A and B are shown apart, each in its own frame.
Chain A
Amino acid sequence: MAPHDIRRPFKRPAISDQQKRREISLLRQAQNRRDAQHQARCLASTVLSLQNQNSEPLSESAASEELEIALETETGPEEVDSEHQARDIDVREASKLKGAEARRWFARQLMLPEWMVDVPDRLNHDWYVFARPAGKRCFVVSSNGTTVSRLRNGSLLHRFPSALPSGARIKDVSRSTQSYCILDCIFHELDQTYYVIDMVCWAGYSLYECTAEFRFFWLNSKLLETGACAPPSLYHKYRFSLLPVYNCDEAGLHTAYTEAVPYVKDGLLFYNKHAHYQTGNTPLALVWKDENCSQYVIDTDSKGQVPNQQQVILAVTR
């Protein structure tokens, strides 16, 4: 019954800035909600890595296949054996584990390289190379105001305050208590420095499902921000350091092979750029050693003994 209104917006239709602000607010809120739920899920996704790994315990030979300078006394196959009950724990809980349980859990988390026995396809496109520091391969976990490093077999190396997120008991309102980090490191005794070779979780976000390319990028941009690369101080007991990583072209290879670095070299590590962080041995990470780039070309087992038989690679051809 209303009269037919034919009025149309004349000239500039009214801009409703209020409506625009409402919509922008809604967008922001939706984005924040997604982030919050995403974060809750990412914490969980670290559990996934437990499933992907080989469920067989590390055998003696597998453990000795790669060279370790550290002479571990705590390695116990019997502990590694019975770990079914420890599988279903996420990292946050794992960081609270003590003693044997903690060892069991962390013993399985590292990504381990295979020997480089041939030249992978597209080496110059798809791979990174860097000189591996000689030292103790370990996981460094910062959470709840403390930082813990654990060796390949899960045993404790250090417990210390660090500048990593949630790595020390200092007032830092901007970080939630859920924030924690896991770094894949080599502890270099001579300069008492943790050389970071990979980043597994950062500030509560899991990087397991990310490519090496992204993880390295993230590592390079995030680690410096925290001050973890600064010299030791009261709340930062050990220095962390980044490694120079090169594309695997001729120049990169040459640099990694010959370049002088502040640490003792122990071979070259090759990482496939597209590979996710995978626990256990993987052909997407490779190690190369010769007398020019490592003092440890003779294989030793985990107790530092030279085995009776040595594996020898006679030639690598292109």
Chain B
Amino acid sequence: MSFEITQFLLSAQLADAKVRTEAEGNLRQFQEQNLPSFLLSLSVELSNNEKPIESRKLAGIVLKNSLDAKDATRKEHLVQQWVAIDISIKSQIKDFLLKTLGSSAAEARHTSAQVVAKIASIEIPRKEWPELIGSLLVNMTQQDRPTSLKQATLETLGYVCEEISHQDLEQDEVNSVLTAVVQGMTVTENIPEVRLAATRALYNALDFAQTNFENEMERNYIMKVICETTTAKEAEIRQAAFECLVSIASTYYGVLEPYMQTIFELTSNAVKGDDDFVSLQAIEFWSSICDEEVELQDFEVPESGDSSPPHFCFIEKALSSLVPMLLETLLKQEEDQDQDDGIWNLSMAGGTCLGLVARTVGDAIVPLVMPFVEANILKTDWRSREAATYAFGSILEGPSIEKLAPMVHAGLDFLLNAMRDENSHVKDTTAWTLSRVFELLHTPSTGFSVISPANLQRVVGVLLESIKDASHVAEKVCGAIYYLAQGYEDAGTSSSFLTPYLMDIISCLIATADRTDCSDSKLRSSAYETLNEVVRCSNLIETSHIISHLLPVIMNKLGQTVELQIVSSDDREKQGDLQALLCGVLQVIIQKLSSTDETKPVIMQAADQMMILFLKVFACRSSTVHEEAMLAIGALAYATGPDFGKYMPEFYKYLEMGLQNFEEYQVCGISVGVVGDICRALDDKVLPYCDGIMTHLLKDLSSGELHRSVKPPIFSCFGDVALAIGEHFEKYLPYAIPMMQGASEICAQMDNSDEEMVEYGNQLRRSIFEAYSGILQGFKNSKPDLMLPHASHVLQFIELVSRDTEREESVTKAAVAVLGDLADALGSNVQILFKDRSFCTEFLGECLQSDDEQLKETATWTQGMIGRVFSVCG
């Protein structure tokens, strides 16, 4: 049943587009006409040692892509297709694949290992390939098998472990797999290729070893082998072994104590003398330990009993040796590392780890680092100065303000001077350190800041001078200005301090965004994003005239982007990026100025022109911009209120486009939010658009393609529409209610063990309640009875949610509000329903005792509403 497809596979890789397209077409046709035969032919091709390696490799890749896809819907489709294939054909395919593991061609073995793992991911959970593990293990235990087969088998075992869950295997299978893998790592009987494959397989299998790690003897053995492997002769094997240690640091932190002394020595030697890519893993081990301990500290609940894992203070215990080791790495910078985003080297990893250590141990790190800083900061060698500055900047998060304040006060002036250093690395790191200082030690709202009116002028002066420096330095300076401005947000009287400099700061940021001397657009985004923060955090009363002047400047720039000559898709992308940034600034300005009655007229006067610009931007049709313009329009609708109605005829088609953008779900989500803004702005004037809007919202909800995060906002949006159009929502009721009921049933069946699902469930619940609230309140005055048939279901849902002790406060608030809305809208009609529901009293009682004033207020209102239901006569 298999066919000769070598020629197609070879032609599909040729440069000649015509031949290639034709070959691809033939393959596709074969695939569509007879999938089982097609897959079988591919496996035959892959396994045949007579065939050219190019066609074998492509056969394997096409086979793999017929089993798995990134997109979840497509993946599910492929799985179903495979499952449906005749069992005898599947077993032939699997035999060819396993045979290929012994092939002489390394690439064929490797590709086959991947395909086996993909089939395993489908079949092992369904118990449809029980003999796989056994037949792989035979390859390992039989003495006469070639080492190439052992190597490919270990690789396959690793991939299979990565694809499936350990619950899919029996414990004795897990044990056998681990035994085979760990034996493959031992030095005595294996050649390097096998050891490497085994070590990499162990990395993938570590999650499977939970039971084995609980057993001290087995654990000791595994750890001993890994530690030995970190000193293998081959650097690649050492790297793979350290990768295992990194993974163990986070997966098995709790059992590491007996091995830490050994591991410290191994990592320390690796950091000092090994190849860089091995040293990097050794540093990463310590970074991972920091991650674990920081998390333990962050979630530390006093007297939490036995449930929380122990904190062994590994970092604290190793501190005095660990810190000097990391400080040494800081001196190993590479030339030009600041210009290239792709670089990750020893000094970067070491400095990052030092920062994590500071967050883990706090004050204790300061005396260990400051001597290094003082010894190096004035040296003539730029590496010393940069390392000293980087060390200083790295330890600013973690230690207490009391500990840091004296050094930072003393060092600030030095840092400001260092912005004139002759070396650009030093300036880059200094600017970054300044941004850390402002981020962490400049919070006037709490009463502490290293900045005072006395030194602010100098600080601003230096920053605005340095923003003209090389683009990577300028980018860090933008960060420093960002945090400098942020500190003054809501800072009471201190919020005025920056006002005198605001005009200069804004012009410099705009000039920076306009710079043409940098290759990428990173500096431009940094400049605009900083501008946004500066506007957001400014003291509006004092700066409204400055921000009002900024508005036409930004509008003008946005207008210019529409006029740009667009030749290539690259031009289009650049135009889109720039429009996104400018729409972002406009959004921030709209929001800022519309927040007070005094400044709102500025927005009202410019609204027409802004809207014209946004529509022009939409017409350029780049999806990123779509999103940013949409966000800005939401802010504008809120600011203009009912006046927004005049833009609707023009704007509506873009709103529809946004609501239909399944692929870019962020855009869809934002469009849904804008619908809400428009409903509140227009009230019942939104009615003419509601048929279209509701159709799209309902389609969105039913789509399996749309990212689930957009679905809760759609339910909330139902509430917004209903509240705006009141009784006119009636015609949508037969469509909306089943959706809401369906979603509440999904909530009831949700998996509570998955944190992400719990969070999603909470969002969904809250939004369903918001929908009911809007509909009930919308119908209250004219057609409350329409909701009567659904009242019992709503109550059931509230009861269900009220019984969930894990529910979030925001869900509770929404639930208790709907309870009141039911009573308020339906009046004495719900008497019977409420009588049977004793949970109401308990639930209300719980809410009334809350510390949250809003919740208490809502609950009081609900109590009153229910009371009214029972007190009305007749």
Asked if A22 is at the interface of the complex by the 8 Å CB criterion, the answer is: yes
Residue ID in chain A nearest B343 by CB atoms: A10
CB distance from B388 to the nearest CB of A (A): 15
Q: Are B344 and A1 interface neighbours, CB within 8 A?
A: no
CB under 8 Å from chain B, chain A span 274-293 = none
Q: Tell me whether A41 and B817 are in contact in the complex, defined as CB-CB below 8 angstroms, given that A21-B532, A51-B871 are known contacts.
A: yes
> Hey, which chain B residues are within 8 Å of A4, CB to CB?
203, 243, 246-247
Q: Counting CB contacts under 8 A, is B112 at the interface?
A: no
Sorting the interface of chain B by its residue count into under 10, 10 to 19, 20 to 34 or 35 or more gives 35 or more
Q: Are the C-beta atoms of B584 and A21 separated by less than 8 Å?
A: yes
Which residue on chain A has the smallest CB distance to residue B862?
A41
- CB pair A28–B281 under 8 Å, yes or no, is no
Stretch at the interface among B207-215, B404-412, B565-573, B631-639: B631-639
Q: What is the CA–CA distance of A93 and B780 in the complex, to the nearest angstrom?
A: 12
B827: interface (CB < 8 Å): yes
Given A8-B352, A173-B641, A26 and B673 touching (CB < 8 A)? yes
A33 and B532 CA atoms in complex are apart in Å by: 25
A7 within 8 A of B: yes
In the complex with contacts A6-B284, A41-B817, A29-B868 CB distance below 8 A? no
Could you tell me which residues of chain A, from 13 to 72, have a CB within 8 Å of some CB in chain B?
15, 17-18, 21-22, 24-26, 28-29, 32-33, 36-37, 40-41, 44-45, 47-48, 51
Contact partner of A174 among B349, B634, B641, B716, CB < 8 A? Answer: B641
CA distance A40 to B780 in the complex (A): 9
The reply to whether A25 and B634 form a contact with Cβ atoms under 8 Å apart is yes
Q: How far is the CB of B844 from chain A (nearest CB, A)?
A: 15
Distance from B503 Cβ to chain A, minimum over Cβ atoms (Å): 22
Given that A17-B584, A44-B780, A174-B641 are known contacts, is A33 also in contact with B716, CB under 8 Å in the complex?
A: yes
> What's the minimum C-beta distance from B410 to chain A, rounded to whole angstroms?
23
> Which residues in B have their C-beta under 8 angstroms from that of A10?
344, 348, 352
- Tell whether, in the assembled complex, residue A21 and residue B432 are in contact, meaning their CB atoms are under 8 Å apart: no
- Check if B479 is an interface residue, CB within 8 A of chain A: yes
Contact present for B114 and A1 (CB under 8 Å): yes
A40 to B775, CA, bound (A): 11
B873 proximal to A (CB < 8 A): yes
Question: Does B723 reach chain A (CB closer than 8 Å)?
Answer: yes
Interface of A is mostly: helix
In the complex, which residues of chain B have a beta carbon less than 8 angstroms from the beta carbon of A44? 777, 780, 824, 865
A33-B533 CB under 8 A given contacts A11-B476, A28-B638, A51-B868: no
Query: Does B419 make an interface contact (CB < 8 A)?
Result: no
Chain B nearest Cβ from A166, distance in angstroms: 15
A21 CB, min distance to chain B CBs, angstroms: 6
A-chain residues with CB within 8 Å of residue B159 when the two chains form the complex? 1
A134 CB → nearest B CB, Å: 36
**A259 at the binding interface (Cβ < 8 Å):** no
What's the nearest-Cβ distance from chain B to residue A245, in Å?
26
Q: Are A17 and B820 in contact (CB under 8 A)?
A: no
CB atoms of B720 and A33 under 8 A apart: yes
- Whether A88 sits at the interface, judged by CB under 8 Å, is yes
Scan B719-755; emit 1 where CB is below 8 A from any A CB, else 0: 1100100000000000000000000000000000000
Q: Which residue of B lies closest to A10 (CB)?
A: B348
Q: Mark A114-139, 1 if CB is under 8 A from B, else 0.
A: 00000000000000000000000000
Does any Cβ of A come within 8 Å of B218's Cβ? no
Please give the distance in Å from A178's CB to the nearest CB on chain B: 9
Q: Which of B247, B641, B872 has the most CB of A within 10 A?
A: B872
The residue on B at minimum CB distance from A2 is B162
Scoring A9, A44, A48, A51 by chain B CB atoms within 10 A of each residue's CB, the highest score goes to A44
Q: Quick one: which of B349, B588, B683, B861 contacts A45, CB cutoff 8 A?
A: B861
Chain A residues whose CB sits within 8 angstroms of the CB of B638 once the complex forms: 28, 32
Q: How far is the CA of A10 from the CA of B428 in the complex (A)?
A: 12
Partner of B680, one of A32, A84, A209: A32
Q: Would you call A87 an interface residue if the criterion is a C-beta within 8 Å of the partner chain's C-beta atoms? A: yes
A37 to B820, CA, bound (A): 12
Supposing A10-B348, A45-B861 touch, asked if A33 and B719 sit within 8 A by C-beta, the answer is yes
B344 cross-chain contacts in A, Cβ below 8 A: 6-7, 10
Whether B584 lies near A37 (C-beta < 8 A) is no
Shortest Cβ distance from residue A179 to the other chain B in the assembled complex, whole angstroms: 12
Cβ of B643 < 8 Å from any Cβ of A?
Answer: yes
Contact A87 B591 (CB under 8 A): no
Contact partners of B284 in chain A: CB under 8 A: 6
Contacts of A62-98 to chain B: CB distance below 8 A: 84, 87-88, 92-93
Asked if B631 and A22 make an inter-chain contact with CB atoms under 8 angstroms apart, the answer reads yes
* B346 lies within 8 A of chain A by Cβ: no
Complex-state Cα separation, A8 to B436, whole angstroms? 17
Q: Whole-angstrom distance from the CB of A130 to the nearest CB of chain B?
A: 28
Asked if A17 and B716 sit within 8 Å, CB to CB, the answer is no
10 tightest A-B CB contacts, nearest first = A17-B529, A40-B777, A6-B284, A11-B432, A48-B864, A7-B344, A12-B479, A44-B824, A8-B352, A51-B868
For this complex, 30 residue pairs linking A to B, each with C-beta atoms less than 8 Å apart, are: A1-B114, A1-B159, A4-B243, A6-B246, A6-B284, A8-B352, A11-B393, A11-B432, A12-B436, A12-B479, A15-B479, A24-B591, A26-B673, A29-B634, A32-B680, A33-B676, A33-B719, A36-B680, A36-B723, A37-B723, A37-B773, A37-B774, A37-B817, A40-B780, A51-B864, A51-B868, A88-B827, A173-B641, A174-B641, A176-B683
Which residues of B are interface residues toward A (Cβ below 8 A)? 114, 117, 159, 162, 203, 243, 246-247, 280-281, 284, 287, 344, 348-349, 352, 393, 429, 432, 435-436, 476, 479, 482, 525-526, 528-529, 532-533, 580, 584, 587-588, 591, 628, 631, 634-635, 638, 641-643, 666, 670, 673, 676-677, 680, 683, 716, 719-720, 723, 770, 773-774, 777-778, 780-781, 817, 820-821, 824, 827, 860-861, 864-865, 867-868, 871-874
